[in-house]
């Protein structure tokens, strides 16, 4: 079993429009922003997944995955 990290953390901030957003950052409050979420629940879940697997965002982007996704979408479109 791999070690669960605590590198990715959620911070509440405001964007330019004054709306509350939650940023997932690597390296603390002044660290690098990995992504921005509009809900706390979504940010917590994504941070949890990133702490389990730092390559979480990179999964599913192989050619095989894209072809399978496209094929499934074409089948669903044909069945309408």
Domain ranges of the chain: 8-78
Report the largest interatomic distance among the alpha carbons of the chain, rounded to a whole angstrom.
50
Residue 65 has pLDDT above 80, yes or no: no
- 41 closest CA partner among 22, 60, 68, 61: 22
62 versus 24: the higher-pLDDT residue is: 24
Q: What is the pLDDT of residue 18?
A: 95
Give the pTM.
Answer: 0.69
Report whether pLDDT(11) > 90. yes
Q: What is the pLDDT of residue 45?
A: 94
Q: Which residue has the higher pLDDT, 4 or 35?
A: 35
User: How crowded is the C-beta side of 25, counted as CA atoms within 13 Å?
Assistant: 14
Q: Which helix (H) or strand (E) holds 9?
A: strand 8-14
CA–CA separation, 47 vs 40, rounded Å?
A: 10
């Amino acid at each position: 079993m791999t070690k669960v990290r605590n590198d990715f953390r959620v911070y509440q901030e405001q964007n330019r429009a004054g709306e509350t957003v939650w940023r997932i950052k690597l390296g603390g409050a002044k660290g690098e922003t990995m992504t921005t979420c509009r809900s706390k629940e979504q940010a917590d879940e994504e941070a949890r997944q990133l702490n389990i697997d730092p390559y979480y965002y990179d999964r599913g982007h192989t050619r095989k995955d894209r072809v399978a996704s496209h094929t499934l979408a074409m089948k669903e479109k044909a069945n309408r």
